[in-house]
Structure formats: C-alpha cells, structure tokens
C-alpha cells in the first residue's frame, strides 16, 4: 500500500492530497479537503448519501478508491454553487423546504444535477428513477421531487 | 411564622425553569439569543420555536440565534420526544417572550416618562418600540441589558399581543443544501482522533479473546481499548480506524449463546413470556340486550429498526475532572446521568452538548455511541475523539421498536353499534432511554469488565403517554370497554422508543378491527366510525379526509385490484386528531398510490413544519407497513444492511395530500407521531377493499398477503 501525493480536479480546482491510494474518496474529501458536505451513510454504495459527480456521473464515493478518482473531474455538493450563488436546484430545495434532517440531501442534489444536465424536462417518473438509489428516512421524498421539477422548469424557462 | 406562597403555575417547561434569562437574551447588537432544552432532530423544532419568539417578541426571523442545548447552560426540558416540544418548550418560550416584551415596553415608557395610556399603546415592530402614531421612540437593542431578564417569570404577561407572522423558512436548510458542516459527524476539534468500536456480534455474546498487538502495530493506530467485551480502536486518520476495525473483527473470538426467539413466531413468543400485566382502563355498563354479533381478531407487528440515514456518532474529550460529550441524543440530561455513573464523575463534571445528527424517530444509537466515544476518550486524556458507528451497527445494535401482538374482541348490538370492546396487548416495553433506570442502560455499560446488569425496557406512565398501552383505550364512545397491557419481563432483543411507541400497533389493530366489523355488517366504514363518535373534532377530521379523497365515489366505483381504506385515531387519546384515507393498487405488486390526511393539531404554530412532519411520518409508516421487519436467527440480528433491511424508495412513495384544520383558539399539539397508526390501518383496510383479504400481521409483503389469503381459504 503506497501513500503518495495525488492531484484531484475538485470543484474546478486542483487539490493535492497526500493519502494512501486505496483510501475511499469519501474520507479524502471530508478529512483531507475539508469538504464535509459529502456524507457517510453505509460504506457500501447502497444509500446515496456520499454521491459526487465524477466526470458528470453521479456515483458513490464511499467505495471509490482515491487512485481511480485522480485525473477525473470531481464535483461535490459544495461545488454546485458558483461564486456563492446557489444553483437552481439548491434554491428550489429551499423554496420547497425539501428536507427534514437533510443528511441525504447532498447526495440527492448531486444525482438531481446529473439528471437535469441530461434531461431538461424530466417527468416525475424520471426524477423517481434518478433518485431511486438514494434513501431518505424522514419521508421528504415528495418535496424533493417537487423541488427537482421546480428547478427543471426554472432552467427551461 | 412565614409561609412560602405557592408559585404560580407557568406554561410548559417554564414551570420548572422559571428564570427568563435562562431562555432568552436580547443583545445590543440587534440579535436575540434563544436557549431551549429541546433538540433539533430534523423535525424543524428550532424553526418552530424561533417563530414563536419572533411572534411574541415582535422581531424578524433573521435576528434569532438558536443555541444548541447543553447541560451547562440550557433549561432542563428532559427528552425531546412524544411530540411534546411545541407544548413544553414552545409554551415556555411564548410566555418568556411575552414577559420580555412587557418588561422592555415598561422600561421604554419609564425612560420617556410616558403616561399609562400612552405606554399601553406602544407597539413593537422588529424590535423598534413605537408609539401608536408609528414614531420610533426606543428599541430593544438600545435598552438591551442582561439584568432586565434576570428575574423569574410572573405569568402575568399575556401572550398573543403580536399577530402571527408568515411561516418561517427552516433555519437549517440553506446549510444543508450547500453542504456546510452541521452534523456531529462533521465536527473537527484540534488534535482529534478517529475512533471505531467493535460491538459484540450478537446480544448474548461475550469476548473470549483477542490479540490486540496486531492491531496496535497497524499504521495510524494510536491506541486500542479493551474493557471486558468492549473493544475499540483510535487512529490518527479515519480510514486507518476503519481498517483497524476490520482487523479487530477478524481477530476477535466470541462465545455466542442462542438467546433470540424464532422471528417467525413473534406473537407466540410475546404471549409466552412472564409479564407485568396492567389494566389500562375500563368502562362498564349494564349488559345490553340484543347483542347479535361477536367479533374477534389478532394483529401484530415485528421488531422495527430506527434505520436512521446516518450511523450514530459522537465526539468526546476526557480529563480526570471533566468529560465533554457532543451528541445527537434526544435527552442530554438523561445521558449525562448515565455517563456520570459509568465514569464515576459528579454530574457537574460531565458536560453534554447537543449537535445535530440525522433524523431521529426514537431512541437510536445516539446515546450508546456517546458512551463508546467517552470510553475511548478516557484512554487518551485531553484528546478529542470522534466515534462513528457502522451501518451494520446502526441497523442491528441500536434499540429496535418493540414487536407487538394485539387481540381485540367486540360485541355488536342489533342496531349495529359496538356495545362492548376488549383490547389486549403483549409487548416488550417501549422505553429504555438513559437516566431512568437504576443502572446505566447504554450498550457498552453491559459489556464492561465490571458490567452493569441488562435492564428490561419499561413503559412510561399513561399520564406521560404510556408505552405498549398507548392508544389501547378506544377513541370511540363505546358503552363498555376494557384495555389490558402485558409488558414482557424478558428482553432478548433490546427495544426502546420508536415514533408513536405502542400507538402504532394498537391503532393499526383497533382501526383494522373497526373496519372488519363495519364491512362484516355491510356498513360504510366512514359512516360506522361517525356513528360511534360524539367528539366534534374527531368527526371533523374524518369528514374532512373523506371530502379530500372523494371517499364515497372511490368506494362505490370498483376497479380491479384497487382499494381504498380509511382509519382514524386521536394520538395518545389526548393529542392530535388524525384521519387517513389510503388508496392501494394490488396488482402484481402492492403499491400505496395515495394518502389523504386530515389533522387537527390545535393552534398551528408553523404550518409548513406541521405538513412536513405529517407527510414524513406518513411516508415512514408506509415503509414500516409494507417492508420493514428486523430479521434474526437464534443468535444474531441479521438485517444489518440496506439490502437485508429495505426501506421505501422514491419510486414507491405515494402522493400525500395533507389538510391541517387550524384551531387558533386551542392549545398546540404535536404532529410528528399522529399518522403512524392510522396510515398502517388505512393501508390494511384498503388491501381488504381491493382483494377481500384481511392482513393482520405487518409487514404486508406479497408473501404475507398470499399467506393471509391461504389462511382465509383454509379457515
């Protein structure tokens, strides 16, 4: 097992980290890069709390080794706002008050971002399909779906 | 001889925490500090309480600074549970704010030498004190002084001087959509170490042996801790701790006796234990002539996991005379009591501070992991230690919601009225929170080299809402009834509070049973319920939900595989009124497509927060009802992943429509737990309407429905 400096392309910036190359990306993001928005839920890619965009695709970071993320474009929930301005999705989640505890929200925002990048006019069923890998225990699902559809309509407008 | 006058009774938790400054500070910088002993569980309580202060004090929401509850500084409000926070803390803060407002207006009037009549006409607009003509003459911020609120509440100021503000947006959501650190899981303190704990693999397991030198030698490992069967590791980086935990698990050898019941025979297991039996209540009447029909049925639910989105987590720092703990516990004072016993410290030497965790719906692993963190922190005095459980621990080592079995019997008169009703429930206790038993109940306490005895869960007194017996008393006006509760005196599986406690299964049973009788008599189930109710607020929610769902039209239009069912309860018999209509589609798989819910929670403080709680509770109840059951063999709980303990997913969530009947003149009631029982019963009743199959044992998987259908055919 080797520890070496690895350069990450993280939220549009280069971030050099010194960690063992098999370390799951999630721990690197949270502890080395101080980005706490990506969250541990299960460690087995079964709940969606730790999703990030890797080259535009929403994937779990809890079982992704650091080495495999090198040289790819990584976007975390913190990277969804541009120069302090919330993305249409983030704003829609506030407008719809689409959270209870909010622990699952970061991962859901990542998958919703991927969805809206690929499908500008998603149906409710499209949103369900895109978010089905994400678990929400508080029962905020319907608000979350409304928020995604609201953001889509704003972006389309 | 002097006598001490009996102090005036004050609202909510103010009665026991009477000093105004304990709750509120008005600051010269234009902010208002609010302290509450209730904690944010993702239910939005901080926002609801902030709104109350805004309304009564007359300030904008942006001025409020909610302080996280701490045993060092907050009013002791016990546990945040049972949908009591708006009553306890909201009632207190409403009175405190009204008194603070009166004190400040009086100070302004005095300073400006106003006549009594001019003083009486002063108003407050966002902290600015104004005359009746709108002239600003002073403000909270210029008058602000700590001393003004350093006095006990008098109960004299009358709340309600300020009109209601628009529903406030949740204070915490902006942080949560931008990924800013908010959870205890995100806390970083200087020099903090990362801890992991290896829990015994089964409830009856004891550690036979382990060679810790192998783990001690792993890179990044700072220390290992063994105390009896308690095992933990500390590392300088988190992934090193994760790997060290895996190594501990591989090296440890355990003795694991078979202590668990047969998961397929839970009702028989519950009935077969020794019990503490109590008569919950009864009403007798002269025997009614002309009883024509007798009904009886048995219902059950399995053990249900808290299944919080995040594994429990805590931060602790230990020095010989001070133990500091940051926790998402629902009861920081109770946790302090158990920790002080375990660590041999005075309560003043244990400082427990709340930090947010993921949504909590009862007694999850929050308190247990706080003890784990403290035990590891004791091995490295002066170092902060953050311990996070695994997903497996969260699902299999947190206390579970108790399995329950319920028998209901009724006699019906010739005019189609229930004249006698018997409700009998068997269950483990629903309460094993810290600070209430004679010895600590934290998980690790029973694993130490000098272990504390395992306690058996109890039920809180009925006056505090009860446990197993919650909602075993009928809400209807039956001529005679009797409710009996049997609490099991053995507890092979650790149980404690889960949202709505016994009300979930008691309401499921009684509202399924009412439906069985109504359909058995050929009477519309809505009409049959109304026939047995005189309480206008009960009738109102039923009528409202029937209107929302278009009940009569749905029931009279038969569609293959589609069913609608209705159910109702008044939570705890003293709380919120809630009626639910469920529409199910029982084709090749069972789907709950729609829920219509009407609730009466008295005065609605934070309307969107109420709707959010109602929706959330209902969706969680759909998940329990259709999918959830803890799995176990005779030694271990085996449902320890999301694959083996599935919960409802986005594509399975019903549309939920909520109507809140606002009663501004009535006192506020909690909303978080009102829906659980009615939702389960409405689904069961809808399944019967769709398939003519009565499902009496949760969860309603397709297997369970098939089994119920076969049982009916064979009976």
Q: Quick: pLDDT tens for B552-569.
A: 999 999 899 999 999 999
Q: What is the largest CA-CA distance in chain A?
A: 51
Q: Quick: pLDDT tens for A81-101.
A: 988 899 999 999 999 999 999
In whole angstroms, what is the distance from residue B495 CA to residue A49 CA?
27
pLDDT for position B85: 85
pLDDT for position A153: 94
Sort B253 into a burial class: Cβ within 10 Å, 0-12 / 13-18 / 19+.
exposed
Locate the chain B residue with the closest alpha carbon to A131.
Answer: B650
Interface list for A 66-85 with B (CB within 8 A): 76-78, 80-81
pLDDT for position A4: 75
Listed by start position, the domains of chain B span: 12-175, 184-256+306-397, 404-430+466-714
CA distance A64 to chain B (A): 13
Q: What mean pLDDT is predicted for residues A132-141?
A: 98
pLDDT mean across residues, chain B: 95
* Predicted TM-score of the model (pTM): 0.95
In whole angstroms, what is the distance from residue B12 CA to residue B208 CA?
50
Lowest-pLDDT choice from B17-26, B81-90, B91-100, B187-196: B81-90
User: Band of the pLDDT at B204, cuts 50, 70, 90?
Assistant: very high
Q: What mean pLDDT is predicted for residues B262-268?
A: 97
Q: Enter the tokens of residue A105.
A: 């929200």
pLDDT for position B161: 59
Q: What mean pLDDT is predicted for residues B247-267?
A: 98
CA angle A59, A60, A66 (to 5 degrees): 100
The answer to whether A6 faces chain B, any CB pair under 8 Å, is no
pLDDT for position B44: 83
Q: List, in sequence order, the alpha helices (H) in B58-151.
A: 85, 91-111, 116-120, 140-143
Residue B86 has pLDDT above 90, yes or no: no
**Contacts for B147 with CB less than 8 Å, ≥ 6 apart:** none
Q: Quick: pLDDT tens for B410-452.
A: 999 999 999 999 999 999 999 999 998 889 999 999 999 999 9
Residue A126 has pLDDT above 60, yes or no: yes
pLDDT for position A1: 52
pLDDT for position B713: 85
| Beta-carbon-side half-sphere exposure of residue B236 (alpha carbons within 13 Å) | 8
Interface list for A 19-58 with B (CB within 8 A): 19-20, 23-24, 27, 30-31, 34-44, 46-47, 49
Q: Quick: pLDDT tens for B572-625.
A: 999 999 999 999 999 889 999 999 999 999 998 888 889 999 999 999 999 999
Interface list for B 18-47 with A (CB within 8 A): 41-44
The strand ranges marked E within B40-108 are 64-67
pLDDT for position A2: 60
Contact: A138, B173; criterion CB under 8 Å:
no
Residue B2 has pLDDT above 70, yes or no: no
| Strand B384-388 versus strand B313-319 pairing type | antiparallel
Q: What mean pLDDT is predicted for residues B503-513?
A: 98
The answer to whether B222 faces chain A, any CB pair under 8 Å, is no
| Beta-carbon-side half-sphere exposure of residue B15 (alpha carbons within 13 Å) | 10
Return the exposure string of B186-214: e unless at least 16 CB atoms fall within 10 Å of the residue's CB, then b: bbeeeeebbbbbbbbbbbbbebeebebee
pLDDT for position B291: 76
Residue B166 has pLDDT above 70, yes or no: no
CA distance B630 to chain A (A): 16
Q: Quick: pLDDT tens for B458-502.
A: 999 998 889 999 999 999 999 999 999 999 999 999 999 999 999
ipTM over 0.95: yes
CATH number listed for the domain at residues B12-175:
3.30.365.10
Contact: B178, A40; criterion CB under 8 Å:
no
Contact: B650, A141; criterion CB under 8 Å:
yes
The answer to whether B593 faces chain A, any CB pair under 8 Å, is no
In whole angstroms, what is the distance from residue B253 CA to residue B375 CA?
21
Interface test with B, best of A28, A103, A106, A126 (most B CBs within 10 A): A103
The gap from C-alpha B355 to its chain's centroid, in whole angstroms, comes to 17
| Strand A57-60 versus strand A73-75 pairing type | unpaired
In whole angstroms, what is the distance from residue B257 CA to residue B264 CA?
19
Q: Enter the tokens of residue B329.
A: 């516990």
CA distance A105 to chain B (A): 7
In whole angstroms, what is the distance from residue B367 CA to residue A57 CA?
37
Q: Enter the tokens of residue B461.
A: 């007194």
Q: What are phi and psi for residue B433, nearest 5 degrees?
A: -70, 155
Residues B329 and B354 sit within 8 Å (Cβ to Cβ)? yes
DSSP characters over B575-600 = S-EEEEEEEEEESSSEEEEEEEEEEE
Q: Quick: pLDDT tens for B674-701.
A: 999 999 999 999 999 999 999 999 999 9
Can B12-175 and B404-430+466-714 be said to share one CATH topology? yes
The answer to whether B173 faces chain A, any CB pair under 8 Å, is yes
The answer to whether A129 faces chain B, any CB pair under 8 Å, is yes
Residue B1 has pLDDT above 50, yes or no: no
Q: Which CATH class is domain B404-430+466-714?
A: alpha beta
Statement: B184-256+306-397 belongs to CATH 3.30.365.10? yes
- Cα distance from N-terminal residue to C-terminal residue, chain B: 77
Q: What mean pLDDT is predicted for residues B298-316?
A: 98
Interface test with B, best of A98, A100, A127 (most B CBs within 10 A): A100
User: Band of the pLDDT at A156, cuts 50, 70, 90?
Assistant: confident
Q: What mean pLDDT is predicted for residues B240-256?
A: 98
3-class secondary structure, B542: helix
In whole angstroms, what is the distance from residue B686 CA to residue B365 CA?
35
Option in B175, B359, B391 nearest A138 (CB)? B359
Chain A residues whose beta carbon lies within 8 Å of the beta carbon of residue B172: 102
């Amino acid at each position: 097992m080797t520890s070496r400096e690895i350069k990450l392309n993280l939220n549009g910036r280069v971030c050099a980290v010194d960690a063992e190359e098999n370390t799951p990306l999630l721990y690197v993001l949270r502890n080395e890069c101080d980005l706490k928005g990506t969250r541990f839920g299960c460690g087995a890619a079964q709940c969606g709390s730790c999703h990030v965009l890797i080259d535009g695709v929403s994937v779990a970071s809890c079982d992704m080794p650091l080495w495999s993320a090198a040289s790819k474009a990584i976007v975390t929930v913190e990277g969804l706002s541009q120069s302090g301005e919330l993305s249409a999705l983030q704003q829609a989640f506030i407008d719809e008050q689409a959270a209870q505890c909010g622990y699952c929200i970061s991962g859901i925002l990542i998958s919703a971002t991927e969805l809206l990048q690929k499908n500008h006019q998603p149906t409710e069923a499209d949103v369900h399909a895109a978010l089905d890998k994400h678990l929400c225990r508080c029962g905020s699902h319907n608000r979350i779906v409304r928020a995604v559809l609201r953001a889509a309509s704003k972006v389309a407008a | 001889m002097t006598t001490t006058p009996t102090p005036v009774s004050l609202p909510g938790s103010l009665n026991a925490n009477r000093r105004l400054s304990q709750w509120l500070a008005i600051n010269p910088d234009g902010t208002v500090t609010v302290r509450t002993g209730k904690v944010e569980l993702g239910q939005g309580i901080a926002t609801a309480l902030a709104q109350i202060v805004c309304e009564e004090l007359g300030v904008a929401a942006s001025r409020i600074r909610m302080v996280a509850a701490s045993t060092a500084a907050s009013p002791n409000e016990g546990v945040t549970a049972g949908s009591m926070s708006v009553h306890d803390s909201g009632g207190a803060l409403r009175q405190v704010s009204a008194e603070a407002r009166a004190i400040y207006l009086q100070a302004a009037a005095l300073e400006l030498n106003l006549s009594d009549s001019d003083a009486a006409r002063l108003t407050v607009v966002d902290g600015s004190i104004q005359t009746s003509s709108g002239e600003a003459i002073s403000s909270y911020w210029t008058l602000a002084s700590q001393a003004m609120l350093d006095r006990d509440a008098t109960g004299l100021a009358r709340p309600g001087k300020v009109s209601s503000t628009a529903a406030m947006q949740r204070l915490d959501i902006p942080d949560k959509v931008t990924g800013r650190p908010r959870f205890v899981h995100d806390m970083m303190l200087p020099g903090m170490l990362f801890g992991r704990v290896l829990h015994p693999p089964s409830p009856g397991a004891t550690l036979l042996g382990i060679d810790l030198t192998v783990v001690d030698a792993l890179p990044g490992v700072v220390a290992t801790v063994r105390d009896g069967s308690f095992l933990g590791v500390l590392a300088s980086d988190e992934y090193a701790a994760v790997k060290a935990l895996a190594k501990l698990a591989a090296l440890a050898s355990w003795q694991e006796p078979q202590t668990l019941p047969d998961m397929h025979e839970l009702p028989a297991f519950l009935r077969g234990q020794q019990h503490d039996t109590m008569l919950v209540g009864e009403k007798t009447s002269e025997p009614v002539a002309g009883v024509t029909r007798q009904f009886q049925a048995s219902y059950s639910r399995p053990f249900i996991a808290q299944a919080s989105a995040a594994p429990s987590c805590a931060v602790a720092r230990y020095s010989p005379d001070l133990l500091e703990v940051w926790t998402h516990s629902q009861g920081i004072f109770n946790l302090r009591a158990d920790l002080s016993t375990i660590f041999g410290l005075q309560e003043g030497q244990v400082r427990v501070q709340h930090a947010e965790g993921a949504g909590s719906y009862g007694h999850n692993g929050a308190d247990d992991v706080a003890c784990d963190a403290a035990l590891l922190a004791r091995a490295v005095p002066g170092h902060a230690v953050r311990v996070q459980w695994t997903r497996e621990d969260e699902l299999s080592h947190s206390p579970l919601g108790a399995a329950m079995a319920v028998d209901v019997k009724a006699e019906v008169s010739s005019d189609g009225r229930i004249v006698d009703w018997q409700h009998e429930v068997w269950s483990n206790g629903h309460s094993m929170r810290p600070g209430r038993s004679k010895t600590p109940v934290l998980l690790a306490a029973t694993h130490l080299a000098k272990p504390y005895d395992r306690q058996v869960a109890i039920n809180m007194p009925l006056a505090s809402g009860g446990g197993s017996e919650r909602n075993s008393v009928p809400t209807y006006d039956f001529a005679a009834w009797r409710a009996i509760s049997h609490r099991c005196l053995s507890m092979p599986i650790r149980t404690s509070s889960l949202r709505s406690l016994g009300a979930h299964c008691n309401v499921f049973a009684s509202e399924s049973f009412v439906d069985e009788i109504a359909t058995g008599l050929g009477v519309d189930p809505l009409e049959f319920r109304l026939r047995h109710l005189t309480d206008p607020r009960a009738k109102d929610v039923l009528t409202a939900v029937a209107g929302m769902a278009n009940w009569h039209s749905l029931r009279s239009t038969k569609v293959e595989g589609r069913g609608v069912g209705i159910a109702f309860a008044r939570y705890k018999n003293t709380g919120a009124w809630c009626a639910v209509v469920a529409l199910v589609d029982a084709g090749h798989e069972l789907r709950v497509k729609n829920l219509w819910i009407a609730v009466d929670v008295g005065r609605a403080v934070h309307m969107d927060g109420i709707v959010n709680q109602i929706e959330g509770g209902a969706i969680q109840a759909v998940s329990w009802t259709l999918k959830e059951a803890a799995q176990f063999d005779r030694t271990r709980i085996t449902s320890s992943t999301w694959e083996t303990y599935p919960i409802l997913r986005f594509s399975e969530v019903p549309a939920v429509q909520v109507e809140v009947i606002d009663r501004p003149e009535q006192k506020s009631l909690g909303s978080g737990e009102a829906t659980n029982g009615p939702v389960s019963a409405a689904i069961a009743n809808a399944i019967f309407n769709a398939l003519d199959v009565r499902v009496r044992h949760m969860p309603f998987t397709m297997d369970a429905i098939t089994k119920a259908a076969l049982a009916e055919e064979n009976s």
